[in-house]
Amino acid sequence: MSSKFFAAAASGLAAFAVASGAFAQAAAPLAKAPAAPAAPAITHGAPIANLCVFSAGAVRGTSATGKALDARLKALQTTAESPLAAREKALQTKIDAFNAAAKTPAADINAREKQKADLELEQSALQRDAAHTQMELVATADTAQQTYSTELQPAVISAYQSKQCGVLLERSAVAIFNPAMDITAQIVSALDARGKAGSFQALERTKLTPQQAAQLAAQLQR
């Protein structure tokens, strides 16, 4: 009896692995780029009055609030992945045993066919649960990002007003600027002063019904 069906059984969590990568990106958008050569010294002109810049990524990566959010999202991902990985490992062990036994004639063809069908069902259930968990992690990251943005906005406004800015630019959109125009540190201070880091540390995974998970998956595919 052919055992080709199970040849790729170890990829049962392939879709989940892809989603985990996306979730990790949402959880930790500040992955460090490779070190660049030291830049030459720059002599800046005078700061432009009322023109300010900031880095949203640096605020997320250096503030206690942003760090708490990213750490919690990473912890939730680990908690979600662990039982699925354990199930996948156990299933693969069963499949390896089945494939080994399939190389010899079966004493009971019906029993072997039933075993194959049971393994197929188990694999399908694992894939279904992994896909559902994937959507819950995506929903969790989305909700967390919305909450973080709600906290970030007043911090940005506070720093903007305290520095009497007339224009605020994202630092990544500016090639070179006088560091005196950078209000990132002030935004970090204002964000952390809101005292919301603890609330992110208590963030829980968003629970979805199968219908909600399917709707979210459809939205992501558009």
d(CA 118, CA 191): 53
Q: What is the reported pTM?
A: 0.77
d(CA 76, CA 159): 32
Check residue 41 and give its pLDDT. Answer: 85
The domain total for the chain is 1
- Would 62 be classed as within a structural domain? yes
Q: For residue 128, what are the domain limits?
A: 49-219
What six digits make up the tokens of 80? 């979600």
- Would 157 be classed as within a structural domain? yes
| Per-chain mean pLDDT for the chain | 87
Q: Which residues contact 104 (CB under 8 A, 6 or more apart)?
A: none
Residue 133 has pLDDT above 80, yes or no: yes
Residue 174 has pLDDT above 60, yes or no: yes
Query: Residue range 84-94: average pLDDT?
Result: 96
- Would 32 be classed as within a structural domain? no
Residue 18 has pLDDT above 80, yes or no: no
Check residue 106 and give its pLDDT. Answer: 85
- Would 188 be classed as within a structural domain? yes
Residue 97 has pLDDT above 80, yes or no: yes
Give the residue among 59, 66, 31, 46 at the shortest CA–CA distance from 170. Answer: 59
Q: In Å, how far from its chain's centre is CA 150?
A: 19
Residue 94 CB neighbours (<10 A): 16
Residue 20 has pLDDT above 80, yes or no: no
Structure confidence at residue 151 as a pLDDT band (50, 70, 90): very high
Check residue 222 and give its pLDDT. Answer: 86
- Would 85 be classed as within a structural domain? yes
Helices 109-162, 184-193: axis angle to 10 degrees equals 110
Residue 135 has pLDDT above 50, yes or no: yes
Residue 29 has pLDDT above 60, yes or no: no
Query: Residue range 181-204: average pLDDT?
Result: 95
Residue linked to tokens 């066919």: 113
When mean pLDDT is compared across 53-62, 84-93, 98-107, the lowest value belongs to 98-107
- Would 76 be classed as within a structural domain? yes
Per-residue model confidence as pLDDT tens digits over 110-126: 999 999 999 999 999 99
- Would 34 be classed as within a structural domain? no
- Would 205 be classed as within a structural domain? yes
